[in-house]
Amino acid sequence: MNSNSSQYPLATAKVSDPFAKSVLAWFEQYGRKHLPWQQNKTLYKVWLSEVMLQQTQVATVIPYFARFTERFPTVTDLANGSIDEVLHLWTGLGYYARARNLHKAAQQIRDEFGGEFPTTFDDVLALSGVGRSTAGAILSSVLDAPHPILDGNVKRVLSRYFAVEGWAGEKAVENQLWQLSESVTPTEQVADFNQAMMDLGAMICTRSKPKCLLCPLQEHCQTNTMQAWDKFPAKKPKKTLPERQAYFLILKNGSKVLLQKREAKGIWGGLFAFPQFGSLEELKRSDLVGNLQISQQLTTFRHTFSHFHLDITPILVDLNVQKIAKILPLVAEENAGNYLSTVSSEADYWYDFSQHNEIGLATPVKRILDELAFSVTNKN
């Protein structure tokens, strides 16, 4: 089986080389070997775990992984599931593009590989949302293929051991780290070595207060010798994030509130959120509000993205306390139900606190719903 790619170099070290030998000896005694995705290992489970672990801690991922594999035990099950259900199971993990790519990649595997997870590097790399490090981690973990990896933990270990100058997000620095990863990764026992490197970064060579005295690489680690671990890797250059305002309309009818599905592209793509407006005046002028009266302006809170801060003010409009017959020129039964039928669209979803809702929710929306849930369920 050829899992190689002409595009990227393979591992070049020997297991007897001092670096690999020290790392593997440490892993045998201290490495993590009982994580859920390490049991009855499959390409599908390792892929799922690798995607979930991007930007996310192991402890957070474990319950999500369990729910995902229970609902979608195979890649074909995932491909055949709805994107709404996938996003629902992902709610709370953040970085939702990962979930959308996961679903798209599962459909690629179903349609192009008959539901069998590909085993060559190029085929895995071609899957939606999969980069070089993820592809290497999957194939090395399950097939022991000689691919180096370079996730955040590995970057930190290598940056400190070799005292690599510069921020790891810069292309030149990343290229240097890839070359170092290729040079220290052995051509055998790759699964254990790559897992060991990730474990070292997560357990020993941590961002703050690393446990250098427990590190198997301490003797030849350049930053340990210089007592300068806090200088490596260099921090991302700081920049002031712009601030934006958003007003969320909470249109409430009994135990239900109105949510709308956002377009697939953009922030919170494919997720359900409250109708959003750039200003209070824009919200008041919207067809959804019309002549209805605002019931309450809730406390503003901040949600931070990687590139801006969003200050969110929830605005509650309770249809059950409106004198709709006097406000709206409705025919027949002048009640909330009639009003709702005039403003609903295909993108709308009435989130019912008394029911189980299997939809993907934007993180600040889930926060608001959780805060509303107690008062709504106790009043109805």
Cβ contact 304:275 at 8 Å: no
165 and 313 fall within a common domain:
no
262 and 178 fall within a common domain:
no
CATH number at residue 117: 1.10.340.30
190 and 325 fall within a common domain:
no
* pTM assigned to the model: 0.84
Q: What is the DSSP secondary-structure string of 193-207?
A: HHHHHHHIIIIIS-S
260 and 214 fall within a common domain:
no
Angstrom CA distances, 320 to 251, 311, 332, 368, 376, stand at 10, 28, 17, 20, 12
The whole-number pLDDT of residue 336 equals 46
79 and 153 fall within a common domain:
yes
205 and 276 fall within a common domain:
no
78 and 224 fall within a common domain:
yes
371 and 288 fall within a common domain:
yes
The whole-number pLDDT of residue 170 equals 94
pLDDT tens, the chain, 380 aa long: 455 556 899 999 999 999 999 999 999 999 999 999 999 999 999 999 999 999 899 999 999 999 999 999 999 999 999 999 999 999 989 889 999 999 999 999 999 999 999 999 999 999 999 999 999 999 999 999 999 999 999 999 999 999 999 999 899 999 999 999 999 999 999 999 999 999 999 999 999 999 999 999 999 999 999 999 999 999 988 888 999 999 999 999 888 999 999 988 888 989 999 999 999 999 999 988 888 889 999 999 999 988 899 999 999 999 877 654 344 433 323 444 444 544 445 668 999 998 888 899 999 999 999 999 866 555 55
In a domain, 237, yes or no: no
The whole-number pLDDT of residue 243 equals 96
The whole-number pLDDT of residue 376 equals 57
The whole-number pLDDT of residue 329 equals 38
CATH number at residue 355: 3.90.79.10
The whole-number pLDDT of residue 330 equals 34
Between CA 358 and CA 97 the distance in angstroms is 18
In a domain, 6, yes or no: no
168 and 276 fall within a common domain:
no
In a domain, 252, yes or no: yes
The conformation of residue 154, written as its DSSP 8-state character, comes to H
CB contact set of 245 (below 8 Å; sequence gap of 6+): 278, 279, 310, 311, 313
In a domain, 5, yes or no: no
Cβ contact 161:200 at 8 Å: no
> Cis omega (within 30 of 0) on the bond before 329?
no
Q: Is 304 exposed, middle or buried (0-12, 13-18, 19+ CB in 10 A)?
A: exposed
Cβ neighbours around 317 below 10 Å, total: 23
25 phi, psi to nearest 5 deg: -65, -40
Angstrom CA distances, 157 to 148, 178, 180, 291, stand at 14, 12, 11, 60
What is the extent of the structural domain holding 225? Answer: 18-231
Catalytic residue among 50, 188, 263, 334: 50
* Residue where a domain stops, chosen among 208, 231, 254: 231
In the chain, how many domains are there? Answer: 2
197 and 227 fall within a common domain:
yes
In a domain, 185, yes or no: yes
- Residue whose structure tokens are 């592209």: 265
In a domain, 50, yes or no: yes
In a domain, 11, yes or no: no
* Residue where a domain stops, chosen among 231, 261, 288: 231
Between CA 281 and CA 335 the distance in angstroms is 25
Cβ contact 64:238 at 8 Å: no
Grouping H, G, I as helix, E, B as strand and the rest as coil, residue 321 is: helix
Cβ contact 254:283 at 8 Å: no
Query: Active-site residue 85, yes or no?
Result: no
Give the length of the chain: 380
* Residue where a domain stops, chosen among 202, 231, 260: 231
Cα angle 48, 53, 54 (rounded to 5 degrees) comes to: 105
In a domain, 371, yes or no: yes
142 and 219 fall within a common domain:
yes
89 and 208 fall within a common domain:
yes
Hey, which bits of the chain come out as E strands? 243-253, 256-261, 272-273, 276-277, 296-297, 301-304, 309-318, 348-352
- Residue whose structure tokens are 């993205």: 305
